[in-house]
Structure 1
Amino acid sequence: MAYILINTFSIFSSLLPALNEKNLPWIDVIHPIVVHFVIAMALGAVVFDFVGIIFKKPNLYEVSFLNLTVATIAIFIAIVFGQIEAGLSNPYGVSRDILNYHSTIGWSLAGVLSVITGWRYVSRQSNPQVLSKGFVFVDLILAALVCTQVYLGDMLVWIYGLHTVPVVQAVREGLL
């Protein structure tokens, strides 16, 4: 039985592409590319809400809702690639903890975005020209979560160098 499992694993592993110098099976990291859509759309939604409130332009609430919808879809794509790339990143030292926080907040943010988008969808059915005060408070929480995620993601890349060629080489050579 063990022979069959080992043989099956070796067949499947031979079908997978080799990892490149960034320790990835594809050319470059995809997670940051997709996650920038989430950042732009989520923070854009907050900005459109506040601009709509300040300048009394309730049509901007519709733009905000569409941004939330795109952010909610994109965050799940970002999470899929983020989980794959995190598994291939070989984190070291404190970067393991930061990566765990980043992953946990990312999944939480997906839930928060889903709930917010659903709440916004339901509330705009009755009156799309009104934005509740509770939603404005939730906008601030959303912006804070997104900014926290950006900070943690920046630390992983710019301080700890995950998926950068020098760090991947150092890990492969056993220096880290």
Structure 2
Amino acid sequence: MPALPLNNANLPYPDPIHPIIVHFVIAMVFFSFFCDLVGYFTRNHRLFEVSFWNMFVASVCIFLAVIFGQFEAGLANPYEAAKPVLDLHTITGWSLSAIVVAVTAWRFVIRNRDPLKVPPVYLGVATFLICLVSFQTILGSRLVWVYGLHVEPVVEAMKRGGL
């Protein structure tokens, strides 16, 4: 079976799909946290429902983000300087997928027990999750903006053996 032809970004399709999906997940996790926080302080329990469904969809989508991330990382042919950041980004991504699902499951239990309240300890864990997502975002940004993975000039330099 012949290999798929790769474009100037070293991908078999026009643009990286991983960032599209992952930005969706980031937005949903952050918005979920925002809704829980505002709902907690304003006692607006309707925001808790919005928060739960955002986390639920984020739990599904994070696996798509990780799968496309793994696929696109494999096509990136990272050079030595980028490998430690890519490895940490990969480990953190897989860890986040498990953590997001666990937090969502916990949120489901909270929702079933009392849909009108969110315990402060949950908000603490959600704050930790936001910090972890922020860290992962920084790593992903470094891979593109510092190391240039799937950026055409860097891909061309790697093909010519310049990196």
Which category of TM-score, normalised to the shorter sequence, fits these structures?
Answer: over 0.9
Among 115, 119, 122, which residue is 1:128 paired with? Answer: 115
In structure 1, what is the equivalent of residue 99 of structure 2? 112
Give the 3-state SS of the residue equivalent to 1:60 in structure 2.
helix
Structure 2 unmatched runs, 5+ = none
In structure 2, what is the equivalent of residue 60 of structure 1? 47
Q: How many residues align structurally?
A: 163
Q: Which aligned segments of 4 or more residues in structure 1 are displaced greater than 6 angstroms?
A: none
Quote the offset at 1:91 in angstroms. Answer: 1.1
In structure 1, what is the equivalent of residue 11 of structure 2? 24
Q: Which has the larger radius of gyration?
A: 1
1:47-91 CA-to-partner distances (Å, cap 9, x unmatched) read 111111121212111100011011111100001100000001111
1:124-153 CA-to-partner distances (Å, cap 9, x unmatched) read 112111101221111101100110011000
Structure 1 unmatched runs, 5+ = 1-11
In percent, how many aligned pairs have the same letter?
A: 45
Distance in 1 (CA, whole Å) between partners of 2:81 and 2:130 is: 26
Q: Does 1:141 align with 2:128?
A: yes
Highest RCO, 1 vs 2 (Cα 8 Å, sep ≥ 6): 2
Quote the offset at 1:93 in angstroms. Answer: 2.7
In structure 1, what is the equivalent of residue 33 of structure 2? 46
Q: TM-score, normalised by structure 2?
A: 0.97
Among 108, 131, 151, which residue is 2:138 paired with? Answer: 151
Give the 3-state SS of the residue equivalent to 2:142 in structure 1.
helix
Q: TM-score, normalised by structure 1?
A: 0.90
AA partner of residue 67 (structure 1): N
